[in-house]
Amino acid sequence: MTNVSIRRADFMMVLAYASDLATGHSRDFALKSCVLAMRIADRAGVSEQVRRNAYHQSMLRYVGCNADTDLLSATFGDEIALRQDLVGLDMGNRAELGRVFVQAFKRFYYDLQPDAQAKAVEAAMSQALAVARPVLIAHCEVAQRIGERLGLSGEMGRNLGQIYERWDGKGLPRGLSGEEVLPAVQLITLAQDVIALSDAVGIVEMAETVASRGDGPYAAHLARLVAANAAVLMEGIGVTVDRETILALEPDPPVSLDEADCDEAFLAIADMIDMRMPFTQGHSRMVAELAEGAGRQMGLPAADVRALRWAGCIHDIGELVVPVATWMRNGPLSVRERDAAQLHAYYGERALASFGREGEAMASLVLRHHERLDGSGYHRKVGGSDLSPAARILAAAEAFQTSREERPHRRALSSDAAATQLRAAVREGSICPDAAEAVLSFAGQRSRRAPHRPLAGMTPREIEVLRLIAAGLTAKEAGRNLDISPKTADHHIQNVYAKIGVTTRAAAALYAVEHGLVRPGETKSSA
Ligand SMILES: [Fe+2]
Ligand SMILES: [Fe+2]
C-alpha cells in the first residue's frame, strides 16, 4: 500500500452529491445544509459531539434513499419528481402529504381517461402509506450500514436511524418525540427544511413558515432561533458551496482514510449506486474488479491501476439523476430520456470534483466510460486519440460486465457469449483489442476462484434464501424457486434478518452484495 490519504469528508461530499441527484434536490443542497447547520449549532451552543454528528448527518441523511427505489417507482411513478414535491413539506400534515401523493398519481396515470384516472388515483392512495412506510424504514437501515462502512461511530448510526423522526412524534420509523429525537437529527431536519424553503419561497417567507412549525416538526426553541436570525444565518449561502468550505467546517480532528479504508469507502459508494435496481446490484464492484485486474495484467503503473479500481466503483454515480422508470423501461427511450441517460457520464465526472486533485484521474476515466475508439460512444463521442490505456480498459470492462447482466429489454449473456460479443466489438473497431483481451483473460482467472463462505452463522439454506431475496424475489417466489412453502421461506428470511441484524429486504440485499453473495446477472428472472 502506498501512502494514500484522503479526507473522509471528501467521500461524504460525494455521497451528498449522489443523494442530491437521486432526491432531485437543488445543487449542493446537502452541503448548504451543512454550512447552515454548523451556524445554527454555534448559536444554539450545542456540544462538540452534537456538532460532529450534525456535520455527518447533513451529508449522509439521504444516503439510503436508493433502497427499494424500484418499488417506489412502480407505485408513484417518477420518484425524483415525487421527492422534489416533498422537499420542505411538513410531512406530519396529512392534507399536504395527500395533495402531493394525488399529484404524483395523476402524473403517473396521465394517459387515462378522467373517470379511469380518478379510480386509479383513489386505488393508489389507499396503498400509498403502506408502500412508503417500509421504504422509509429501509432508507434508515441502509444509511446506517453505509455510515458504518465509512467508519462512523455507533452513535452516528443511531442518528442515521432517525432521519425521518420529528419533534412532535409524527415521524418514522418509531414515532419518537421531543428529546427522544437526537439533537443532531433535530438540527438537520430543521436546517434542510430551511434550505429547501429558502430556495422555494425566499428567506422572509421561510422564516415565517419555520416559526409557525415550532413544536411541530422542530423544537420550538430552534425554530425561534432560526426565525429570529434568518437573514444572518443564510448570509452567503448561495447557489453552490465549495469543497474547502466543507473541509474547513469538519470538527477537530479531521479524519483521513488510508488506501484500505478508501477501498471500503468506494465499495460503499458502489453498492449505494447499484442498489437502486435489482439488476444492477454488484455491477460497479464487478466492473472495478475487472478493470483493476486487466490494468494490472497490462502492466499499468500502480496509480493508474488504483484509479481504475476506484473509477470502476463510482463510474455510474451520474445515473442517479435519471428516474428509475427510465432504466426499467422495456422498450425504446424517447429522445429526451436517451439524452438524459447519456449524460450520466458527465454527472459522474462532476461528482469527482469533491476529491480535488486526487479525483482528477478518476474523473477523466468516469467521463469516458462509454466512449468508443471509433467515436461511436457517448456522450462526447470522442475517438481513440482521446482514450488512454486505462480509459480503454474501463470501457471494455464495463461493456463486458454489462452484457453479462440482465436488463429489462434483454436477458443476461453467459460469460462465453459476452466474450464473443466483446471480440465482435473489437473487430468493428469500437473496443481496444488489448484492453478486451486483458479483461477476458482476467475474467477467466477470476471465475476459477473459490466462492464465498458461510457468514453470520447462516445455514447454507438461509444463504440461498438471502441470495434470492437480494436478487429481488418475494418470499413466495423464493419458496417456489427452492421448492419450499412460502411460510418456510419466510421463516428462513426472518432467521436471516435476525442473524445479520436488519429488518428490511433492502438492507439484507446490501449485506448480500457487500459479502459477495450476489453476483451481477443473478436477478429476478435468472435467479
Ligand atoms: Fe456501468
Ligand atoms: Fe455507465
How is 338-403 classified by DSSP, letter by letter?
A: HHHHHTHHHHHHHHGGGGGGGGHHHHHHHHTTT--TTS-SSSS---GGG--HHHHHHHHHHHHHHH
C-alpha of residue 99 to centroid of ligand 2, in Å: 36
pLDDT tens digits along 353-379: 878 788 999 999 999 999 999 999 999
C-alpha of residue 287 to centroid of ligand 2, in Å: 10
In this predicted structure, what is the pLDDT of residue 431? 97
Secondary structure of residue 102 in the 3-state scheme: helix
Q: pLDDT per position in the chain (527 positions), as tens?
A: 468 899 999 999 999 999 999 988 888 999 999 999 999 999 999 999 999 999 999 999 999 988 888 888 888 888 888 888 888 888 888 888 889 889 899 998 988 998 999 998 898 888 888 888 888 899 999 999 999 999 998 999 999 999 999 999 999 888 999 999 999 999 999 999 999 999 999 999 999 999 999 999 999 999 999 999 999 999 999 778 999 999 999 999 999 999 999 999 999 999 999 998 888 999 999 999 999 999 999 999 999 999 999 999 999 999 998 888 888 888 888 888 888 899 999 999 999 887 878 899 999 999 999 999 999 999 999 998 999 999 999 999 999 999 999 998 899 999 999 999 999 999 999 999 999 999 999 998 765 544 445 688 888 888 888 988 888 888 888 888 888 988 998 999 999 999 998 888 888 988 888 887 776 655 444 43
Long-range contacts of 446-451 (CB under 8 A, 24+ apart): 446/289, 446/290, 446/293, 447/415, 451/516
Ligand with minimal distance to 313 CA: 1
In this predicted structure, what is the pLDDT of residue 89? 85
Long-range contacts of 485-494 (CB under 8 A, 24+ apart): 489/465, 492/461, 492/462, 492/465, 493/465, 493/469
C-alpha of residue 342 to centroid of ligand 1, in Å: 11
In this predicted structure, what is the pLDDT of residue 256? 96
Q: How would you class 111 by CB atoms within 10 Å of its CB: exposed for 0-12, middle for 13-18, buried for 19 or more?
A: exposed
Q: What angle do CA 363, 367, 372 make, to 5 degrees?
A: 140
In this predicted structure, what is the pLDDT of residue 523? 47
C-alpha of residue 420 to centroid of ligand 2, in Å: 21
Q: How far is CA 327 from CA 139, 232, 286, 319, 342, in A?
A: 21, 43, 19, 9, 11
Q: Pick from 508, 352, 371: which is nearest to 432 by CA? A: 371
C-alpha of residue 378 to centroid of ligand 1, in Å: 13
Ligand with minimal distance to 277 CA: 1
C-alpha of residue 284 to centroid of ligand 2, in Å: 9
Ligand with minimal distance to 342 CA: 2
C-alpha of residue 427 to centroid of ligand 1, in Å: 22
C-alpha of residue 345 to centroid of ligand 1, in Å: 10
C-alpha of residue 364 to centroid of ligand 2, in Å: 14
**Number of Cβ atoms within 10 Å of the Cβ of 453:** 8
C-alpha of residue 431 to centroid of ligand 2, in Å: 15
Here the cell at position 57 is 448527518
Query: 322, 405 in Cβ contact below 8 A?
Result: no
**Which residues line ion ligand 1, judged by CB < 5 Å?**
316, 398
C-alpha of residue 402 to centroid of ligand 1, in Å: 7
In this predicted structure, what is the pLDDT of residue 504? 87
Ligand with minimal distance to 318 CA: 2
C-alpha of residue 142 to centroid of ligand 1, in Å: 22
**Number of Cβ atoms within 10 Å of the Cβ of 9:** 23
**What are residue 257's phi and psi, to 5 degrees?**
-110, 140
C-alpha of residue 301 to centroid of ligand 1, in Å: 24
C-alpha of residue 312 to centroid of ligand 1, in Å: 8
C-alpha of residue 239 to centroid of ligand 1, in Å: 30
pTM over 0.75: yes
In this predicted structure, what is the pLDDT of residue 50? 96
C-alpha of residue 450 to centroid of ligand 2, in Å: 29
What domains, with CATH codes, occur in the chain? 7-249 (1.10.3210.10), 277-453 (1.10.3210.10), 457-526 (1.10.10.10)
In this predicted structure, what is the pLDDT of residue 519? 65
Residues in the chain: 527
**Which residues line ion ligand 2, judged by CB < 5 Å?**
316
C-alpha of residue 411 to centroid of ligand 2, in Å: 18
In this predicted structure, what is the pLDDT of residue 358? 82
pLDDT tens digits along 100-118: 889 899 998 988 998 999 9
Q: What angle do CA 132, 106, 407 make, to 5 degrees?
A: 65
Ligand with minimal distance to 370 CA: 2
C-alpha of residue 242 to centroid of ligand 2, in Å: 26
